[in-house]
Amino acid sequence: MAISGIGPSQFARFWAPWVSDEDSRSECVIAIARVILSSSALLIVWFEPTDPAEHASRVHALLAIYTVFAVFALLLLMCTRIATSRWARMVVLTCDLLFAILLTSLTRGPASPFFAFLMFGVLSAACRWGAQETLVTTAAVVGALGVEAVLVGTTTPWSIRVLEGDLGLSRPLVRSVYVGIAGLLLAALAEKEKQRRQEIATITSIVDQAGMAAGPDGTLEAVLGVMLRAFGSDRAVLALKQTLTGRVFLWNAVAAPDAGDAIVTSSELSDEQQGCYLFPLPGRVWHAARARTRTWFDLLSLDADGKGLPTAVVTLPPALFAGHRRDSVLGVSIAFGDEWSGRLLLVDPGIDSSRQAALRLALRLARQIGPAAHQGYVLGILRARAAGMERARLARELHDGVVQSLIVAEIQVEVVRRRAARDSPLCADALTHIQSLLRDEIRNVRELTHRLKTTESHAAPLPGLTDLVARFERDTGIQARLVSDTGAAAIPARASDEVSHILQEGLVNVRKHSGARHVLVRAAAAHGRLMLSIEDDGRGFPFSGRRSQAELTAGHEGPAVIMERVQALGGELSVESTPGHGARLDVAVPLLS
């Protein structure tokens, strides 16, 4: 428990301010305690030697050597990180126990006043590691006490009286019981501290990854990767329902073979598929372990307060396992601000301790996932707004600066051309060509400013597409018409900007290359996908017929920029061309958030 706001980490930082990580601080605290223990013991026995008197000089020498060792270990920690490696810790612990055994053997064995040196070894093991290492160290200390009871003279028949002493049977037994009880309690505390550190590290990683990720997709992908590593699972599934629209999206994360970032795919679930992931189960968090058959699972669940609910037997949806045999599933309900709610599923988590402890850990982590993911979501919106404001500023600069300068230059060329038309027809033709180039550049810069003004939208796409088509018709004189059947569907933030750019690029290609007189744009949303088609009556492409994106890529044909944008969205592109009569581009992109 922290006192006056000072916790264990702050305490370690106070004693060891020259190191930054938690393990190094713990090792430095142990090293400082070792120096204090050894030097104070040396000072005490210097003024009041211990019994038996014939070993006093040896005790002085051992304490002096141990003090030098303690100071050397502390200096080594301050100068290099090698001393914090696991093998170095094992060597130091072995030296601590060896000195403690020698000191207690020379000073009445289990009744020695240096019994604290043995306990120091157990305490340092608990500070360094978890329960297993602490129990092993405790067993070593109890064994050392038993060996000392045999070596030092006692009233027991098995004593070999290598060293002089006067011990009964009760003292070794009582000391062994003390060490055993202390070791058990310290092991329990060490395991709790180890779990606490792992939990804090996981939460910190979740918050950091959520802060660095761009937008809700990047945030969720980062969080899923952290959860996979935290629970040792090979697959994580996150199903989230959007409160406003009622749509359900699925993120499927698979652990990478090289222990790197998880491989995450996303999709939208139909009404029939939602039951495979949002099926009803009691409790806020639960763990289903495979029972005697392939379909039945023993369910252990906890409520929102971490209290256990009655154990039940359930059948999980077969589609959850995607055709692979799995032994267990851990599920936890999460909230993503007020906009999202859903469930996180971890397939085959590595649960080393009890199931209830793992469920409580998942419940605590889930309480951090929601705020962290919401933070990433808000940051993504703020970044998009900031980028939109910057694009709008650049558009104004181009319109008020470059465009106006080009218009003035075009007017001046027009004046000069009219004067030259009377005196030099050849010069007038050249000026006419320059004037045409200036008009094209003015149109191109205006199109660029319109692109920069395009911002991401969470509303229906119809107004934005209508503006693009209307502006194209107004600027080029080509008749253009939009037919939309999107209904209440909306282009989510992830795809809206790219879809607008695809339409803009397609209309620019029509103006520059097709020579068309009419353009028809169709937009429709169905089955979780947005379909966009651009059809014109111009020259068409050099080929005849319909070609997919793979065929276009292999033949180095078609609109390269549009193909790159569609591929980045995970969509599909196809082109149908009739040379001399026109062409049609069909684009289909997933409606993912």
pLDDT at 592: 53
DSSP character string of 283-342:
SSEEEEEE-SSSSEEEEEEE-TTS-B---EEEE--GGGGTTS--SEEEEEEEEETTTEEE
Contact in structure between 578 and 540 (CB atoms under 8 Å)? yes
69 pLDDT band, cuts 50/70/90, is: very high
Q: Residue 34: is its pLDDT beyond 70? A: yes
Going by C-alpha positions, the residue among 477, 470, 410 that lies closest to residue 445 is 410
In sign, the C-alpha dihedral spanning 307, 312, 318, 322 is: positive
First and final CA of the chain: distance in angstroms?
43
Max avg pLDDT among 189-198, 291-300, 576-585: 576-585
CA–CA dist 578, 35 (Å, integer): 89
Q: Residue 9: is its pLDDT beyond 60? A: no
Give mean pLDDT, residues 274-282.
Answer: 82
Q: Residue 420: is its pLDDT beyond 50? A: yes
Give every CB contact of residue 155 below 8 A, 6+ residues apart in sequence.
167, 168, 169
pLDDT at 319: 72
Which of 18-22, 187-191, 521-525 comes out lowest in average pLDDT? Answer: 18-22
Give every CB contact of residue 73 below 8 A, 6+ residues apart in sequence.
31, 34, 83, 92
Contact in structure between 518 and 477 (CB atoms under 8 Å)? no
Strands 235-242 and 248-254: antiparallel
Q: Residue 134: is its pLDDT beyond 90? A: no
pLDDT at 18: 47
pLDDT at 224: 78
Give the orientation angle of helix 493-509 with respect to helix 215-231, to 10 degrees: 130
Max avg pLDDT among 115-119, 313-317, 379-383, 496-500: 115-119
For the chain, the average pLDDT equals 75
pLDDT, tens digit (0-9, with 9 covering 90-100), for 544-559:
888 888 888 888 888 8
DSSP assignment, residue 270? P
pLDDT, tens digit (0-9, with 9 covering 90-100), for 480-489:
888 876 544 4
Going by C-alpha positions, the residue among 452, 449, 440, 432 that lies closest to residue 407 is 440
Work out the percent of the chain whose per-residue pLDDT is above 90.
3
What's the longest Cα–Cα distance across the chain? 135
The tokens for 512 are 């520059």
pLDDT at 152: 65
Contact in structure between 131 and 188 (CB atoms under 8 Å)? yes
Contact in structure between 63 and 38 (CB atoms under 8 Å)? yes
pLDDT at 65: 93
pLDDT, tens digit (0-9, with 9 covering 90-100), for 436-469:
777 777 777 766 676 666 544 443 444 567 778 8
Q: Who wins on pLDDT, 188 or 211?
A: 188
Q: How far is CA 399 from the centre of its chain?
A: 42
DSSP assignment, residue 49? P
Going by C-alpha positions, the residue among 199, 14, 33 that lies closest to residue 127 is 33
Q: Residue 23: is its pLDDT beyond 60? A: yes
Give the DSSP H/E element, type plus range, for residue 266: strand 263-269
The pTM score is: 0.47
Q: Residue 308: is its pLDDT beyond 80? A: yes
